A and B are shown apart, each in its own frame.
Chain A
Amino acid sequence: MKHRAATAGWLSVICAGLGQLYNRQYVKGLSFILVYAAGIYAIAAKLTPHLKGIVTLGEQGQHLVKVGKIYKNVPGDHSIFMMIYGVLAILVVLLFLLFYVLNIRDAVVVGRRKQSGSELRVLNSSVFPWLLLSVPMIGVLFFTIMPIVFTSLIAFTNYASPNHIPPKNLVDWVGFATFDKLFNMNVWSDTFVGVLSWTIVWAILATVTCYFGGILVALLINQQGIRFKGIWRMLFIIPYAIPQFVSLLIMKNLLNEKFGPINQYFRYFGMEGLPWLNDPFWAKVSVIVVNMWIGIPVSMILVMGILTTIPKDLYEAADVDGATAGAKFRNITMPYILFATAPILITQFVGNINNFNVIFLLTGGNPATMKYNNAGETDLLVTWLYKLTLDFNQYNIAAAVSILIFLFIAAAAIVMFRRTRSFNEEDMIQ
């Protein structure tokens, strides 16, 4: 009886389910054997071509074949479909391996328990949460994880127009050539460096202006002696309440160089009016100002929430010590706000790096420029990759750019990770 667990384990290594049968769990054992057999059959018979497919990505694209007297277009291998099926096949294989390992573990654990003669617990409360989580996780798997895996794969191929678009042509693995192009080939690297530097400048300016603008507005309303605080606050929340795409499209019209009302007012006062969206410099100014219009209300709400949480006794103590209004502001209010909002700064910075809407809907990345390849003066990395995908079919470059953005975000996420209250202090409330 000493070797019961080991025997069960080894039996399960030979064939999943045998160990369970040996442990006298007949239903479990039989179903494990069935899953095992089905898995082996599926992998051997159905999945192998797909697994091979993801390696070769097809041997022949669409081609002409002579049938009788005429040439006919015959569909060839579709590299991208092969890649998708390949990824799915790998997923199935991984799931199968997981099942196999768990099966061995189960056999050993149950065997050991039988050995010591302890009760078999029904692990109900450990199965139920996974049951609840299964549907959400399938969604995340197919529409978040799969796309990420897939994007990473595409970055290492030459999937791009005009020469490598299935079904007409094949796509091939090219290793790091795409990244090499992005960093070293002038046409691409100039664009990449240009767009990247504007993205960083933009993210810093957009975050700083909205952050301090929000603090300023909140303090302005919260001053002693200002009346109708509620009404001011409500008025200032309006930009936040209007759907972003609507207000941005409206702004685009407001700033129209020829017919827009803003320039109309300029002319009314005898000035020329400015090329708000058509000049590289002014377009950049416009997106930042419009972004302030959209972003300041959010910071304002946050800061106003924080202002109410500052303990009153701090101010009372300061009064006793004879502090001036300025000193109280410098030594109590500001440190408090800065401390409480510091984590938000990081989120907003990351958010601004990916601030697709403001750029795409307002300027569309324009004004166009000869310096860049498929990008305009105000394009951010995200809008550039959107255009590369939908308008120019440069999938591999787009994928490489998204991987780079993702690496940056993952770094920020790990910094954020330990600061998230919901993560670290979850059991403190109860």
Chain B
Amino acid sequence: MKPRLLFSYALLALIAVACIYPALWTVLSSFRVGNSLFSDHFIPTAWTLDHYRDLFRERADRSIPYANWYWNTLKVATASMVLGTLIQLLTAYSISRFRFKGRKAMMMMILILGMFPGFLSIMAVFIILNTIDLLDSIWALVLVYSAGAALGMFVAKGFFDTIPRSLEEAARIDGASHMSIFMRIILPLSRPIITYISLTTFAGAWVDFIFARAILRTPENWTLAVGLWSIIDSYNSTEFTLFAAGCVLVAVPITLLFMYTQRFLVDGLTAGASKG
């Protein structure tokens, strides 16, 4: 083997170890007996499932309502996904398909506002929610996540732009209304983009920390991101194995989802490129 290749393989292996190590270490820690961060062995000498059971057990000496957090996160992510996707599709569809007055101005506005990271105005959102008495509610979180969804519409718009307009014109000649064109022609053709948007909005709500921590105040209402952060923040490294188990349960579904769609996205990208 050439030395160049040998060197490359060594480098690749090194990077691979760096990529996997943290995840592997966490998974192994979650099965380790004891609760400390420190351990002499990378692979545990004694294995246990206790930490996973512990997560769902009520205990008086600490407040880690993990089941609550999981349920909250699931609710927030699902609701934001449905609302957010709907809003984003509607916006993208109307901007892509219709030429109306104020369209360019609207696109300009969406582009600039979209560059503005929502959490910069977190203080104002916080005060507004406080005024309408919605602070500390997971529905406020859903509202905040989906309200801004329209600003991310450019991907979907790009997709709608590629659907030939002749399809709609044919349907319109046959007497279809705007709504039935959208429901019966555009939506079925847009399955890939709908999948993509739903997954990203779901994952976005699942992993968000910034708004969740600002809006949710009582531990029972927290989402997983805030909860896990607080375990590390308040228990430091004394409940580490419990934290590791919690992390595994959060990360596994979303990681699998991402690995799956990633393959589909990257493949689609390269397939399109080689055809062109």
B266 adjacent to A305 (CB under 8 Å): yes
Q: Which of A136, A139, A226, A301 contacts B12 (CB 8 A)?
A: A226
B247 adjacent to A250 (CB under 8 Å): yes
A139 adjacent to B87 (CB under 8 Å): yes
Can you name the residue of chain A whose Cβ is closest to the Cβ of B261? A241
Binding site for A on B (CB under 8 A): 2, 5, 8-9, 11-12, 15-16, 18-20, 22-23, 25-26, 36-39, 42, 87-88, 90-91, 93-98, 100-101, 103, 106-108, 111-113, 115-128, 131, 143-144, 146-151, 154, 157-158, 161-162, 164-165, 178, 203, 206-207, 209-210, 213-214, 225, 228-229, 232, 237, 240, 243-244, 247, 250-251, 254-255, 258-259, 262-263, 266, 269-270, 273-274, 276
Q: Which of A65-123 contact B (CB under 8 A)?
A: 80-81, 84
Between-chain CB contacts (< 8 Å), 7 pairs = A125-B178, A129-B103, A136-B88, A139-B149, A250-B25, A253-B240, A423-B107
Specify which chain B residues have a CB less than 8 angstroms from the CB of A135 in the assembled complex.
87, 90
How far is A132 from B94 in the complex, measured between Cα atoms in Å? 7
Given that A301-B266, A405-B120 are known contacts, is A417 also in contact with B37, CB under 8 Å in the complex? no
A232 within 8 A of B: yes
A308 adjacent to B270 (CB under 8 Å): yes
A128 adjacent to B37 (CB under 8 Å): no
Chain A nearest Cβ from B168, distance in angstroms: 11
Q: Which of B37, B87, B113, B228 contacts A249 (CB 8 A)?
A: B228
Can you name the residue of chain A whose Cβ is closest to the Cβ of B240? A253
Given that A142-B147, A241-B259, A422-B157 are known contacts, is A151 also in contact with B123, CB under 8 Å in the complex? yes
Given that A143-B148, A308-B274 are known contacts, is A226 also in contact with B121, CB under 8 Å in the complex? no
Q: Which of A148, A225, A260 contacts B37 (CB 8 A)?
A: A260
**B-facing mask of A354-377, CB < 8 A → 1, else 0?**
101100110000000000000000
Chain A nearest Cβ from B85, distance in angstroms: 12
How far is A325 from B158 in the complex, measured between Cα atoms in Å? 37
How far is A236 from B12 in the complex, measured between Cα atoms in Å? 9
Most buried by B among A139, A398, A405: A139
B123 adjacent to A254 (CB under 8 Å): no
Known: A81-B131, A220-B12, A357-B209. 8 other contacts (CB 8 A): A84-B131, A133-B91, A150-B121, A151-B121, A244-B207, A245-B225, A413-B111, A414-B112
Q: Which of B26, B39, B107, B147 contacts A139 (CB 8 A)?
A: B147
How far is A261 from B29 in the complex, measured between Cα atoms in Å? 11
Chain B nearest Cβ from A369, distance in angstroms: 20
B158 adjacent to A259 (CB under 8 Å): no
Given that A150-B127, A244-B207 are known contacts, is A413 also in contact with B147, CB under 8 Å in the complex? no
How far is A293 from B14 in the complex, measured between Cα atoms in Å? 13
Given that A246-B251, A420-B111 are known contacts, is A389 also in contact with B123, CB under 8 Å in the complex? yes
Can you name the residue of chain B whose Cβ is closest to the Cβ of A241? B258
Q: Which of A223-263 contact B (CB under 8 A)?
A: 223, 225-226, 232-247, 249-254, 256, 258-261
B228 adjacent to A246 (CB under 8 Å): yes
Q: Which of B88, B115, B146, B162 contacts A409 (CB 8 A)?
A: B115
Chain B nearest Cβ from A168, distance in angstroms: 15
User: Which 4 pairs from chain A and chain B are nearest by CB?
Assistant: A147-B121, A139-B147, A147-B124, A136-B150
Q: Which of B103, B126, B213, B232 contacts A252 (CB 8 A)?
A: B232
B143 adjacent to A143 (CB under 8 Å): yes
A148 adjacent to B124 (CB under 8 Å): yes
Specify which chain B residues have a CB less than 8 angstroms from the CB of A140 in the assembled complex.
113, 147-148, 150-151
A336 within 8 A of B: no
Chain A nearest Cβ from B218, distance in angstroms: 15
Chain B nearest Cβ from A130, distance in angstroms: 7
How far is A308 from B270 in the complex, measured between Cα atoms in Å? 7
Chain A nearest Cβ from B258, distance in angstroms: 4
Specify which chain B residues have a CB less than 8 angstroms from the CB of A410 in the assembled complex.
112, 115-116
Chain B nearest Cβ from A3, distance in angstroms: 27
B251 adjacent to A402 (CB under 8 Å): no
Given that A126-B101, A226-B8 are known contacts, is A136 also in contact with B127, CB under 8 Å in the complex? no
Can you name the residue of chain B whose Cβ is closest to the Cβ of A223? B8
A243 adjacent to B8 (CB under 8 Å): no
How far is A251 from B42 in the complex, measured between Cα atoms in Å? 16
How far is A219 from B230 in the complex, measured between Cα atoms in Å? 40
B154 adjacent to A420 (CB under 8 Å): yes
Most buried by B among A154, A217, A238, A385: A238
Q: Which of B12, B128, B149 contacts A150 (CB 8 A)?
A: B128
Can you name the residue of chain B whose Cβ is closest to the Cβ of A398? B123
Specify which chain B residues have a CB less than 8 angstroms from the CB of A301 in the assembled complex.
262, 266
Can you name the residue of chain A whose Cβ is closest to the Cβ of B163? A430
Given that A143-B125, A143-B148 are known contacts, is A382 also in contact with B119, CB under 8 Å in the complex? yes
Specify which chain A residues have a CB less than 8 angstroms from the CB of B125 in the assembled complex.
143, 147
B122 adjacent to A386 (CB under 8 Å): yes
Given that A234-B259, A410-B112 are known contacts, is A243 also in contact with B207, CB under 8 Å in the complex? yes
A226 adjacent to B5 (CB under 8 Å): yes
**B-facing mask of A288-307, CB < 8 A → 1, else 0?**
00000100010001001100
B115 adjacent to A146 (CB under 8 Å): no
B112 adjacent to A426 (CB under 8 Å): no
Specify which chain A residues have a CB less than 8 angstroms from the CB of B128 in the assembled complex.
84, 142-143, 146-147, 150
Chain B nearest Cβ from A161, distance in angstroms: 13
Specify which chain A residues have a CB less than 8 angstroms from the CB of B127 in the assembled complex.
80, 84, 150
How far is A386 from B118 in the complex, measured between Cα atoms in Å? 12
Most buried by B among A243, A256, A261, A361: A243
Chain A nearest Cβ from B222, distance in angstroms: 13
Specify which chain B residues have a CB less than 8 angstroms from the CB of A293 in the assembled complex.
18-19, 22
Specify which chain B residues have a CB less than 8 angstroms from the CB of A238 in the assembled complex.
19-20, 23, 255, 259
A253 adjacent to B214 (CB under 8 Å): no
A16 within 8 A of B: no
How far is A386 from B126 in the complex, measured between Cα atoms in Å? 11
Specify which chain B residues have a CB less than 8 angstroms from the CB of A80 in the assembled complex.
127, 131
How far is A418 from B25 in the complex, measured between Cα atoms in Å? 46
Can you name the residue of chain B whose Cβ is closest to the Cβ of A228? B12
Specify which chain A residues have a CB less than 8 angstroms from the CB of B124 in the assembled complex.
146-148, 150-151, 154, 399
